[in-house]
Amino acid sequence: MAIEKMALVQIEGVLKRVNKTLMKCCESKCFHIISSNRTNDSRSGGFKSLKSKSPYEPLVNRCRAIANSLGIEIKTVDYDDIDFNVSVDFSNYFELIEKKLNEILDRKLTLESSLKEHSEALMLAERLSGFDVKFSEIFACDFIKIRFGRLPVESVPKLSYYSDRSFTYYRFAEDEKYAQILYIVPKDNSVEVDEIFNSLFFERTRIPDYFQGDADEAKTQMLKAVREENEALDAVNADIKALRLEIEGTFLKVASKLTALDQSYELRQNVSVYNNKFFISGYVPKRKLKEFTDSVTSVSDVEVREKPLDSEPNSSPPVLLRNCWLFRPFEMFVKMYGLPNYNCFDPTPYVAVTFMLIFGIMFGDVGQGLLITVLGIILDKWRKVKLAPIMQRIGITSAIFGVLYGSVFGNEEIIEPFFKMPSIYKMLGYISAPADIFQVSTILLIASIGIGVVLVLISMAMNVATNIRTPQWLSEAVISPNGIVGMIFYASVMAGVALQMGFGIQMFTVPYIICLIILPLALIFFKEPIVSLFSKKKGKGKSVNIVRAVKTYGDSISQLPPINDVEELLDELSSTSFVKAQYGELELSAYGRIKDSVGGDYVFYPFEVKENTVTGVYIAMLKDFPIVDRDFSALGFKKMKMPDQVEDIRKEEKLRLDEYTEKQQKERKSVGNFIIEGIIELFESCLTYITNTMSFLRIGGFILSHAGMMLVVSVLAAKAGDAAIVVQILGNLFVIGMEGFLVGIQVLRLEFYEIFSRFYKGDGKPFSPVVANFSAED
């Protein structure tokens, strides 16, 4: 029940075995490939990235085309019995299918084209509906021309401008954008009038010469043609379906194998090559390492070596959650928020337990709970809905709490509720049994807050456990609103309030307030100076400040153009604390070679030029710095201590490089700023404690709301007479549907906002084993 332990492996082998090895990796379904850091650095020792175009790509396209035409959904199936190994095998197989398929598709195309033509003709006949002149008579007119078509409605008023011309028009239909027009013009004037209509954007519709009789007769004719063609098209579709049924099984196997072969080529870009040997790096779950190693080493001349997890500096292990059957469905919620870091712990069991518990409390009903479980089983079996296994589990906790509340489909007479048991109600301070749950509402609400307090404290403890071994232990695990100090404050206040108000014990004494309330608050308030006092690496931020100084003075000190002076790059560098800068000098001739010789993302700012040397600073991300540093050293860069000041270009003044930094620090240390920021942050933390705690009131609120809704259902059923059972069923279904849904959302909200926000950072990288992917590329 944790995050799956990963092993970093490196596969080495003779280059000619690379394809087989990649196929084995795909088939293992447990290998998360990473881009080797060797290939990122093209100049390191002759390592190259292995890239080549897949010879299977055209075949994959043919395969997809066939699948599309036949309506086959490609999915991964076992292809062990397919012995196709070379392109020709696949090509021959596809050719056989294409021969049959093309014959059917040609028929389909002809029919579709004819159907389209006749459908358009039918639409035209419908538009001309009411036109009772025979088309043959129109075609036979010798001295006049009749044009059908449509005119944009904006052009219709413009026709009045041409009222003196020899034409007449008839508008027989109109929609929002177009008017259907027929105009009649003497043959001799047709050219001039056609020109006028064209200039008004008239779109002429030519009447097909196969139209017989008037518009209504033409419509009947076209309806018949369209119906016959549709029938013929259905027959063709039946042929396609028959072909699909005939080939589908084998086709899927062939497609699976072909895609796996093609994908293995895609993966070649992650392979680095040196001296006729290939190297592949990736992660494998530790418990599958042996199985994976055996499978891959079955390829001759290939070996698998396990490496320390930190030997890949640019890559962190991916995260694969592994939980028992009870908690596994709740991984969905954790993934929704973001996977945990590999070095962190998996919060799924905690989420599962709290989710089931809170849902059960909020929606406690034996009948409805069991119904939700049954629904979950049905949805899981038939539709594979991801939420279904969660429904099965929360349904059971709902039923358990239903027993406690004595509620069976809202009926509280079958089982005795807990608050009606003499020992319980007497313990709660009642003389006689409360009539219903509404009479114990205050206790319910207080209990909800109690649950909230416990959960918030557990979340804080988790935060402490997570961060105590990290470099930020002091600021995150100790002096933090969610750290030990925050826990002391929160627990003290809550315990004080509970004991004083519940049992009348005077808790808030002066020493109690000073030691357990004011002192923790003061520590949170002075967190920043305390942390910086204890911080050993005081100069850590220096490089960031150099970046800021360079950004500020860059234009005034740069005599030569900077290298890679991309504003965004500098912005990006200055916004991160993982940046390093180095000041020094190099020869003027070497300055010109920087761009070609230094790799990675970096900026070089030349400050001064003295005879043949250039002094300046290079800045790079911490992870790229070793490469940048090495390349600058290779250019003869002499490292020097950063000066306090340099002369500006005009030689008018000395610019203090540390001034900017100091100014920034002064700003940071400004008492006013510190107090204002501190007060706001402290206020926000206190407010969060209150709101987070009060947020749990919804647990009690929903218990009451559930009871209230069921009361309404009972009252309605009592008034319904013979239809009482129908009202009961519909009412229960409504409550399960609406309230069950709402409670689910509310619990998830409590998990994400009140619990996760205190200890959890979802910054993990998912484990994605290499597999054959069927999705079409754009």
Contact positions vs another protein (CB under 8 A): 152-158, 160-161, 175-178, 198-201, 203-204
| Least spacing, CB of residue 204 vs another protein, in Å | 8
| Least spacing, CB of residue 120 vs another protein, in Å | 11
| Least spacing, CB of residue 205 vs another protein, in Å | 9
The CA-atom distances, in angstroms, between 344 and each of 4, 7, 135, 319, 473 are: 11, 17, 82, 10, 14
CB closer to another protein, 201 vs 741: 201
CA-closest candidate to residue 21, choices 318, 328, 281, 334: 281
CA-closest candidate to residue 394, choices 317, 325, 305, 330: 330
Query: Which two three-digit tokens encode residue 497?
Result: 């309030």
Q: Which amino acid is at 182?
A: L
| Least spacing, CB of residue 173 vs another protein, in Å | 13
CB closer to another protein, 178 vs 774: 178
Nearest-angstrom CA–CA distance, 646 and 655: 5
Start-to-end CA span in the chain (Å) = 40
| Least spacing, CB of residue 200 vs another protein, in Å | 8
| Helix (H), strand (E), coil (C) string for 187-247 | HHHHHHHHHHHHHCCCEEECCCCCCCCCHHHHHHHHHHHHHHHHHHHHHHHHHHHHHHHHH
CB closer to another protein, 198 vs 575: 198
- The DSSP code for 319 is B
CB closer to another protein, 154 vs 567: 154
| Least spacing, CB of residue 163 vs another protein, in Å | 11
Residue 65 CB contacts under 8 Å (≥ 6 apart), including other chains:
none
The CA-atom distances, in angstroms, between 384 and each of 376, 381, 516 are: 10, 6, 52
CB closer to another protein, 189 vs 441: 189
Q: Is the torsion defined by CA of 465, 468, 470, 475 positive or negative?
A: positive
Helix 697-719 and helix 671-695, axial crossing angle in degrees, nearest 10: 30
Answer yes or no: are the C-beta atoms of 342 and 328 closer than 8 Å: no
Query: Which two three-digit tokens encode residue 744?
Result: 């689910």
Neighbours of 135 (CB within 10 A): 22
| Least spacing, CB of residue 549 vs another protein, in Å | 24
CB closer to another protein, 157 vs 313: 157
CB closer to another protein, 205 vs 714: 205
CB closer to another protein, 159 vs 356: 159
CB closer to another protein, 200 vs 697: 200
Angle of CA points 521, 522, 525, to nearest 5°: 90
| Least spacing, CB of residue 606 vs another protein, in Å | 24
Nearest-angstrom CA–CA distance, 528 and 480: 10
| Least spacing, CB of residue 165 vs another protein, in Å | 12
